[in-house]
C-alpha cells in the first residue's frame, strides 16, 4: 500500500533527482562513443576510454555509500551533482586521449555516486515501498525518454559540443533536484561527523562491513543478478551506438531509440501489481534475462521497426528488474546500511562496466561487431541461468 503520509512535495523532487541522475547514463553512451569515432580512435581504445568512466565508481562506490551514511545523502549528492554539471563542458577543449580518459574518470565517478545517491534517497524516504519505488523507476524512464532525444538533436545540429552541453544540462538538473528535496524528509546520519580528512578517505572498516552483507544468501544472489544485468547495459553504453551509426542510423534516430527505451520503462509502475501475482525473485530473473537478450540480438536486423521493438522490450524489462532489486534489498537490510548496500550494488555494476567494453572492443577488433554482441551477451545469459539454478537449489 502507498504511504500517503509522504507528500507530493517530497515525492516529486526525489523522482526528479532519480530521473536526471539515471538518464545521464543514457546520454553519455550516445555522445562519447560517437565522438571518439570522429577522432579516429580504434575499437580497443574506444573500449578502454569507455571503461575508464567506470574505474572510479568501481574503486569508490562503497566509499561513496559510506559517505552517504556518514554525512547524509543530501550533502554528498550536492557535491557530486556540481562535478557532474561542470565536467562535460571540458570535453570540448580536448582531443588528447589521456586527458579524455581523465575526464572520464572524474565524470564517471560523479555520475555513479549521483545515481547511487538517488537510490539511497529513494530507499531512505520511501522505506522499501514497491509502489513508490516503481514510480521512481518510471521517473528515470521519463528522463531516459527526454534526455537522449534532446542529446541526439543537439548532436545532429551542433556536433559533439551540442552533446557535451546536453550532458552538462542533465548534471545541473540533478543538482537542482536534490536541493529541492526537503531536508526534514531525509533521515539524519546516526553520528553526524565533521568534514575532516579521516572522515572522507576510504576506511577498511567500511569495506569490511559492506562485504559482510554478502554472507546473506539473498544479498549474494541479488548482487550476482545485478552484475549480470549490467552486461547488457555495458554493451549499450559502448558499441551499441557505434553499431547503429555504422549501419546508417542517424544521431536523432539513435536518440529516439534510447527514448523508446525510456518510454517503455514507464510501465515499471506495474511492478507493485505484478508482485501480487508473481514471485518477486522469479520475476526478477526473467526480467533480467529478457533485458540481456534484447540487446544481444540487435545485430540480427537493421530494420528500424525491429530496433524499436528491442529498445522497448529492453526498457520495460530493465525498469521492472531495477524496481524489484531496490524493493527486495530495502527489505533485507537496515536503513543505516542502505548507503553501503547501494555502494556494493554499484561496485558490482562498475566491475562489469570496466570489463565488458574492453572485452567487447577486443572481440570487435579481432572479429566483428556482430560476433562481439552474440558472444558477450550469450555468456551473460548463460551466467544468469547458472545463478538462477543455484538459487533454486538453496530455496
CATH label of the domain that carries residue 170: 1.20.1250.20
The DSSP line for 321-390 is HHHHHHHHHHHHS-GGGHHHHHHHHHHHHHHHHHHHHHHHHHHHHHS-HHHHHHHHHHHHHHHHHHHHHH
Residue keyed to cell 562535478: 83
What pLDDT sits at residue 335? Answer: 64
Grid coordinates standing for 118? 538517488
Which of these, 377, 374, 369, lies nearest to 352 by C-alpha position?
377
List phi, psi (to 5°) of 19.
-60, -45
User: Has residue 281 been placed in a domain?
Assistant: yes
C-alpha cell at 18: 532519480
Q: Is residue 4 part of a domain?
A: no
Would you say 65 and 342 are in contact if contact means Cβ atoms under 8 Å apart?
Answer: yes
Res 213: pLDDT: 76
pTM score, whole prediction: 0.79
Assess if residue 177 is contained within a domain: yes
* Burial class of 89 by CB neighbour count within 10 A (0 to 12, 13 to 18, 19+): middle
Is 196 a domain residue?
no
1 lies in some domain = no
pLDDT of residue 193: 53
Give the total number of structural domains in the chain: 1
Its domain, for residue 114, covers 10-184+207-394
pLDDT at 329: 76
Q: Is residue 201 part of a domain?
A: no
C-beta neighbour count of 192 within 10 angstroms? 10
- Would you state the pLDDT for residue 192? 52
The C-alpha atoms of residue 41 and residue 290 are separated, in whole angstroms, by 32
Structure confidence at residue 189 (pLDDT): 66
Task: Give domain status of residue 202, yes or no.
Answer: no
Per residue of the chain (395 residues), what is the pLDDT tens digit? 445 467 788 888 989 999 999 888 889 989 999 999 888 889 999 999 999 998 987 887 667 777 787 778 888 899 999 999 999 999 988 778 899 999 999 999 999 889 888 888 887 887 767 678 778 877 877 887 789 889 999 998 999 999 999 999 999 999 999 999 887 777 776 555 555 555 555 566 666 777 777 877 888 888 899 899 999 989 998 999 999 999 999 999 999 998 888 777 677 677 777 878 888 888 899 999 999 999 999 999 999 999 999 999 998 898 888 888 877 777 766 666 666 777 788 778 778 889 999 999 999 999 999 999 999 999 999 999 999 888 777 76
- Domain-embedded: residue 297: yes
CA distances from 92 to 50, 103, 165, 167, 295 (A): 17, 11, 9, 12, 30
**Whether 170 contacts 22, CB under 8 Å:** no
Task: Tell the residue number behind the cell numbers 551514511, with chain if given.
Answer: 69
Nearest Cα neighbor of 30 from 117, 213, 154 is 154
pLDDT at res. 1: 45
Amino acid at each position: 500500500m502507498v504511504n500517503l503520509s509522504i507528500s507530493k512535495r517530497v515525492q516529486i523532487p526525489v523522482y526528479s533527482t532519480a530521473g536526471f541522475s539515471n538518464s545521464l547514463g543514457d546520454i553519455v553512451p550516445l555522445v562519447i562513443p560517437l565522438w571518439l569515432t570522429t577522432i579516429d580512435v580504434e575499437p580497443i581504445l574506444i573500449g578502454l576510454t569507455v571503461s575508464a568512466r567506470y574505474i572510479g565508481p568501481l574503486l569508490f562506490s562503497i566509499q561513496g555509500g559510506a559517505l552517504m551514511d556518514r554525512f547524509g545523502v543530501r550533502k554528498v549528492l550536492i557535491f557530486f551533482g556540481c562535478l557532474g554539471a561542470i565536467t562535460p563542458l571540458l570535453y570540448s577543449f580536448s582531443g588528447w586521449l589521456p586527458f579524455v580518459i581523465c575526464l572520464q574518470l572524474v565524470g564517471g565517478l560523479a555520475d555513479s555516486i549521483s545515481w547511487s545517491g538517488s537510490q539511497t534517497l529513494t530507499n531512505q524516504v520511501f522505506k522499501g515501498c514497491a509502489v513508490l519505488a516503481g514510480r521512481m523507476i518510471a521517473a528515470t524512464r521519463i528522463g531516459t525518454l527526454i534526455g537522449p532525444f534532446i542529446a541526439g538533436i543537439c548532436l545532429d545540429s551542433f556536433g559533439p559540443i551540442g552533446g557535451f552541453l546536453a550532458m552538462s544540462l542533465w548534471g545541473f538538473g540533478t543538482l537542482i533536484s536534490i536541493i529541492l528535496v526537503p531536508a526534514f524528509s531525509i533521515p539524519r546520519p546516526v553520528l553526524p561527523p565533521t568534514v575532516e580528512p579521516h572522515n572522507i578517505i576510504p576506511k577498511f572498516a567500511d569495506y569490511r562491513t559492506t562485504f559482510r552483507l554478502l554472507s546473506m544468501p539473498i544479498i549474494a544472489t541479488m548482487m550476482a543478478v545485478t552484475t549480470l544485468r549490467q552486461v547488457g547495459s555495458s554493451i549499450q553504453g559502448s558499441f551499441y551506438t557505434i553499431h547503429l551509426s555504422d549501419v546508417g542510423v542517424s544521431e536523432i534516430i539513435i536518440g529516439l531509440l534510447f527514448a523508446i527505451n525510456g518510454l517503455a520503462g514507464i510501465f515499471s509502475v506495474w511492478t507493485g501489481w505484478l508482485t501480487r501475482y508473481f514471485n518477486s525473485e522469479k520475476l526478477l530473473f526473467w526480467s533480467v534475462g529478457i533485458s540481456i537478450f534484447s540487446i544481444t540480438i540487435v545485430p540480427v536486423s537493421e530494420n528500424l521497426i525491429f530496433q524499436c521493438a528491442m529498445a522497448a522490450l529492453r526498457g520495460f524489462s530493465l525498469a521492472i528488474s531495477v524496481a524489484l532489486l531496490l524493493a527486495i534489498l530495502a527489505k533485507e537490510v537496515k536503513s543505516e546500511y542502505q548507503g553501503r548496500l547501494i555502494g556494493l550494488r554499484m561496485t558490482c555494476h562498475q566491475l562489469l562496466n570496466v570489463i565488458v567494453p574492453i572485452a567487447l572492443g577486443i572481440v570487435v577488433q579481432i572479429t566483428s561487431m556482430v560476433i562481439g554482441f552474440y558472444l558477450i551477451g550469450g555468456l551473460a545469459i548463460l551466467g544468469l541461468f547458472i545463478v538462477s539454478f543455484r538459487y533454486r537449489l538453496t530455496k
